Amino acid sequence: MKKKYILFFLLLNISIYSFCGDFSYFPLVNAKSAKSFAGDLGALMGGGVSYTSRSLGFSGFDLGYRATYQLKPSKDSSFMPKERAFGINFLQAEIGMPYRIDAFIRAGFGDKLTVVGGGIKYGLWKIKDGLYQMNGMLIINSHMANNLNFYAIQNGINAIFSINCGLIRPFVLLGYDSTRLNVQNALDPSLVSKNFYEAGERIGAGLRFKMKWINLSAAYEYSRGNNLVDGAFTVRF
């Protein structure tokens, strides 16, 4: 049964990546679509930073692959291919520190897109590992995305709550992302070097499957009228 879970999540992430979006049409951007795309990109960078609200504990470690995809662009992101998913794949490493604090760094990649980021996680109360007990966590993160045609800075905050139900551990989250997009290349020269700002809330829920050191998770998130999906495959100890 555990092997089936692993195979399912690997196939899910492979299938998501196969529908990776295309950012090469960005030079067709206008002022309205630049602002909308800033919001889309910010939700992708801020999404999927955590699948559990349990702190690692001092010297704990978490390393693995994560992905966040938006199922289609926002209506106003008019230069993006319609009805096509796009997203970012991440490698993320976390380390546990005293006082229920975890620190993490992550590197992401998409279609000719590179992302670097990181942040701090703080357990809201003493760790509870008993069956059907809940943990809470506050997360602050920041990312920078770079493409030939644009770069973006995202800052975000997330609150996540998860319950220990044994093998399956559900979680819910609430987040907020603020993003600044700078246009580097556009057919409209008046847009070059201009900044566009967008912010918005994210809500979501998902399931984490814990098998010794192996963790698999899948989640759904909703941001600014858009549907997003997250997946993760990590080693945690």
For the chain, give the secondary structure using H, E and C. Answer: CHHHHHHHHHHHHHHHHHCCCCCCCHHHCCHHHHHHHHHHHHHHHHCCCCCCCCCCCCCCEEEEEEEEEECCCCCCCCCCCCCCCEEEEEEEEEEEECCCEEEEEEEEECCCCEEEEEEEEEECCCCCCCCCCEEEEEEEEEEEEEECCEEEEEEEEEEEEEECECCEEEEEEEEEEEEEEEECCCCCHHHCCCEEEEEEEEEEEEEEEEECCEEEEEEEEEECCEEEEEEEEEEEC
pLDDT digits (tens, 9 = 90+) for 104-125: 999 999 888 999 999 999 999 9
pLDDT value of position 3: 53
SS3 75: coil
Residue 1: predicted pLDDT? 52
Residue ranges in the chain modelled with pLDDT below 70: 1-21
Of 146, 70, 157, 94, nearest in space to 115 by CA = 146
Q: Which two structure tokens, joined as six digits, stand for 128?
A: 């509870």
Domains and CATH numbers, the chain: 2-236 (2.40.160.20)
| pTM of the full structure | 0.90
Q: State which amino acid sits at residue 106.
A: R
Here the tokens at position 181 are 């997009």
pLDDT score, position 32: 97
